[in-house]
Structure 1
Amino acid sequence: MPTDHGDRLRPRKRFGQHFLHDREVIARIVESVRVGSEETLVEIGPGRGALTTSLLARCRLLHLVELDRDLARILDESYGDESRVTIHQQDVLTFDFRAIVPLLGGSLVLVGNLPYNIASILLIRLLTVVDCIDRAVFMLQREVAQRLAAAPGSRDYGRLTVMIGRVCNVESLFNVDATSFSPVPQVESTVIRLTPRPHPIGPVIDEQAFSELVRTAFSQRRKTVRNALKHYQPENAFAICGIDPQVRPEMLSAEDFANLTAVLSDSPAACRTGFPEDVR
């Protein structure tokens, strides 16, 4: 079982490490996961194992994905003899979630205190395996959580909002004070729950085309959508979708972007395959 390793495990700045130590917050996160006794969890960035023991007591199998070699070794010392625990010393951005699904016969439940420096990248990357996920409870930098839950037209609304919101229901659960971590970060945190929707918002579309359209629009968010998306020759598509070409990208909903993608994909004259260098 876990042991106290104290100063042996000093946080590494390059990994964006801030270790959670507040027992009340730990308990609230674990309760928010709503773990079933037959479920398999993937804990991302378990660090010193603040959540791990409580999660293991509630689930069937637990996969720990930890990049830091020293932390992975400590986790192995603590949980290596547990037959229900598998430790993966690996970057979660390259972790193959699908590889463990066939062993389970069901979907994955994800949980973790995501490193601030990779949170947005990881969330976008998880879209490629969202069909394998039942739900996810993450602690994020509050700024990222606000972007996920933002409404169209607000300052925080952007690419991340559209990409995640189209396929997942986003719940902001509770805020976490910076003093709950060691070392104390310079930002506040929020715990969220993501639950994949039965079907993505809008029509069935090419996911890569949708991603490129949204990225292009928000890379020029101060322009009107007519100018931001002029590369697509989108005038007919705007009319078909009932979109005012004079509004800015942040005024468009996820469904608007999905409808635009569908119409542009059906119109060779309106959808070009190349992308200018400045919007990649």
Structure 2
Amino acid sequence: MLKKPFFLTILLICIGQWAACQNSITGKITDIDDEPILGVTIKNLKTEEKATSDFDGNYSIHAQPTDTLLFKFSGYESRSIEVSDSNVIDVELKVNEDLVVIHSHHNLYKISPHYGINYNTYGFTFQNLYDQIPGGLNATLAYSTDFNRNKNAIIQLQKYIQLNAPIYLSLIGTFEKAAFNGNQYFSYKVKSRITLKNSSAYKLGTLSVIVGHLNYNGDQRTNNIGFGLGYSNYFLGGFEISTDFIYWNQLHEFNSRASYYFRRWKPYVSYKHVGKYEEFQIGIGYTFVL
């Protein structure tokens, strides 16, 4: 009669020892622009256990130090990583240029209602976060107005270009038109952004070179070619700060922005100065799937 409890006890001890050896590995999966990737399959090649990344790119799976994890997602290059002694493994996946794949999880968008303090304007920004436009372009549309004479509109197209790590390049074309207190300006800009990352895919910062044309009709009149520089980076696990300066001959333009990523939300504050145009803006972005 004592044999069954004895063997049951031994079995439970063995199961407990096995479970203790299984570490819980967690991490976040992103693309080269630090955007989270939803739906990545993570597989432990030794135990065959599988997991899937959530909306924020986070995942959790059991593994031992000697196990190897396979990260696989349609349209991206797969990666195999040995667990070793780490309990946190963040992974960056690169787009597979040899494949042309449209996947439902790529239909990510961001909408950001905002308020302009100086000119009492209300508006929104709409972005598609993946290359759904022909030519692999991302688009941003922004508009704000006080429902009277003050308004601002921005159209922006962005193209990511894969280079050899740790250097990543993106090109951004922007058209902006603003009317304020009886003045107005419009500008065309092309920005070349170079992002540097170390061997662990940690973002070291993004440098930008800007060239453009400004037509300003206000207290000063100018029609000039301009040049500028910009820099942005992530700090303290979610904060992002960006700034750029453009020299337009008689006029200067200064832009700065601070934001914080929290799951699907991205609250931000921004400041813009061009000649007599000066605006502080607050807003909050929300990422969703269609």
- Pairwise TM-score range, normalised by the shorter structure: under 0.3
Q: Which has the higher strand share?
A: 2
Instruction: Give the TM-score taking structure 2 as reference length.
Output: 0.26
Q: Which structure dedicates a bigger proportion of its chain to helix?
A: 1
